[in-house]
Structure 1
């Protein structure tokens, strides 16, 4: 691995030379260090996939110099163009329908492609000189922290992975900033898949015979009761609630009960437009995260890949999924791999407007 300072005079020509040869370049951005190869070169893309290791079919975004270059690789609708004009360059990934001009493994399985225009002068100059997009994935290997320095990168990569790196552009230790916001513009309205700093949010199962609640408060109380029942399990495995029911049945009210049990002060609302919302909790000196997911607006199961749900399935973490019947198979696959405790909750309207019949079990 060759290391060059970002201030070195010939850094642009050196980086372009390596990219043209199919090499892997670690480069600084306004968020963290990224890993870049020629996104149109299948051999180069295979190299970065080998470096990242456990990608499991996840797509990769690409970095481009400007909207003109972006238009060569994706179909830009008015929603996407509006985001480009308002927020790019900057920490925003805009997903559009791809034109299939990149190497296999870069676009998603549904043919969409994320575009980044980094707000980093050196990288924009490299992109303009190279004339083609490079991958814009973070430089960490799968399931390791995003790197903000060469020291951190070396700490969390093996010797074998380090030999895959051809050039590290060293800009020192970068400020620890959030990852980019990811917005899908393939629908009429922008759909936020990952909330960053930039944009505001928008086998056979057995069932409990069921209970009837007569108010939203009782539904919330049931959620707290179930949380208390499984609290000890939570210390050694993640806890997953699959919430199933029609619109207005009480899925969000159930999630509010989880938040209340965890002593969250934030108002728990259904994350319909942000898809996922994350809360830190500290209950009796036990710390973890409550992940609230709403899959109603997901158009393709592949969009789950962008949410990186695997990272949330850890002991002490609670995951509640509204409209879980829409994505049950991939979520169950993730949860079983993490040895999560799974509770399926089915909610239906009873004989009165406030009455709910609730069954739950594995």
Structure 2
């Protein structure tokens, strides 16, 4: 769905059509890197992806320029924006003719069938949604390609938000140079797994010595969920819970510290398996102490991070399921 990202009325119509889910940003298609630079700050990481993968089925997220003049609802809540350079001559000519980028979101309504022809779109949207469409360009049956791979280059280490670049790696290693970056990683991981959060909840398992940033990561998760209460490590209370509401999404954020737990019987008293359900997040510090006490289905669901480092620098190893 193409809309003028500089036009508030156009974005109003697009967001009504998409019924955009909480936290899901749009992206912009441009014809070349010079046009992209009008919208975002392209750092060296992003430059490498532009040179290697664009034009092509990749979306590269970068920091939004303050003077970009787009409707702010197009960008993410992190102040970032995804950029596409499509490998499709018609779209490139259209964008060149317009002289500015256009939104690059799929034509299907949210959570509906992925379309490869116009009929797939029109058969799965309401009459009200049809009235929001000004123009349809029908080029026939499209190839059944996967959605673009989405890479966030706004942190010190690139993070795949959709799809995978390195499918053979057992884990991804991140470098965090500040507390805000560690929190930023937590926020992006929740956004990346938002669909799973709504369906079954999210489980984070954090390992690492004292003072390496486990609670900082938890604060980032709480920040994403718009929790106003102060987040502290529940070392002596074992478990803290915080209700949250983020737009239409509401649930409970459970923060568990397993440092003092040595026996499976102790752990079973917390009834962790009952905490993890749709819209809830369970974050466990000292994951390595209790992982073997969990049933296999929960362990397979976990997003696991191992933190190390000193001062403000952190090395974070991330294990997560590759299929989203």
Bin the TM-score by the shorter chain: 0.5 to 0.7
Contact 1:182–1:195 (Cα < 8 Å) also in 2:
yes
Deviations 1:21-62 (A, max 9, x none): xxxxxxxxxxxxxx0111111121111111111432422110
> Of the candidates 290, 309, 315, which is equivalent to residue 194 of structure 2?
309
Name 2:75's counterpart in structure 1.
Answer: 107
Contact 1:345–1:358 (Cα < 8 Å) also in 2:
no
Name 1:59's counterpart in structure 2.
Answer: 25
Name 2:221's counterpart in structure 1.
Answer: 327
Matches within 5 A, 1:103-182: 103-182=71-150
Say which SS state the counterpart of residue 136 (structure 2) adopts. strand
Larger Rg: 1
**C-alpha deviation, 1:155, in angstroms:** 1.7
How far apart are the structure 2 equivalents of 1:43 and 1:319? Answer: 36
Contact 1:75–1:98 (Cα < 8 Å) also in 2:
yes
Unmatched 5+ residue regions in structure 1?
1-34, 203-266, 274-295
> Of the candidates 189, 193, 210, which is equivalent to residue 161 of structure 2?
193
How far apart are the structure 2 equivalents of 1:38 and 1:52? Answer: 15
Unmatched 5+ residue regions in structure 2?
175-180, 207-216, 226-242, 253-275, 296-324
> Of the candidates 42, 48, 68, which is equivalent to residue 76 of structure 1?
42
Judging changes above 3 Å, is the alpha-carbon distance between structure 1 residues 347 and 108 closer, same or farther for their aligned structure 2 residues?
closer
**C-alpha deviation, 1:308, in angstroms:** 5.2
How far apart are the structure 1 equivalents of 2:77 and 2:55? Answer: 26
Deviations 1:148-200 (A, max 9, x none): 1111111211000011001111111212211111111112332222115xx32
Say which SS state the counterpart of residue 299 (structure 1) adopts. helix
Contact 2:203–2:283 (Cα < 8 Å) also in 1:
no
Say which SS state the counterpart of residue 137 (structure 2) adopts. strand
Contact 1:61–1:115 (Cα < 8 Å) also in 2:
yes
Matches within 5 A, 1:26-37: 35-37=1-3
Say which SS state the counterpart of residue 184 (structure 2) adopts. coil
How far apart are the structure 1 equivalents of 2:19 and 2:203? Answer: 28
How far apart are the structure 2 equivalents of 1:158 and 1:82? Answer: 42
How far apart are the structure 2 equivalents of 1:105 and 1:300? Answer: 21
How far apart are the structure 1 equivalents of 2:121 and 2:189? Answer: 27
Contact 1:344–1:360 (Cα < 8 Å) also in 2:
no
Contact 2:205–2:285 (Cα < 8 Å) also in 1:
no
Judging changes above 3 Å, is the alpha-carbon distance between structure 1 residues 357 and 74 closer, same or farther for their aligned structure 2 residues?
closer
Name 1:340's counterpart in structure 2.
Answer: 278
How far apart are the structure 2 equivalents of 1:79 and 1:86? Answer: 11
Say which SS state the counterpart of residue 167 (structure 1) adopts. coil
Deviations 1:200-221 (A, max 9, x none): 248xxxxxxxxxxxxxxxxxxx
How far apart are the structure 2 equivalents of 1:342 and 1:104? Answer: 28
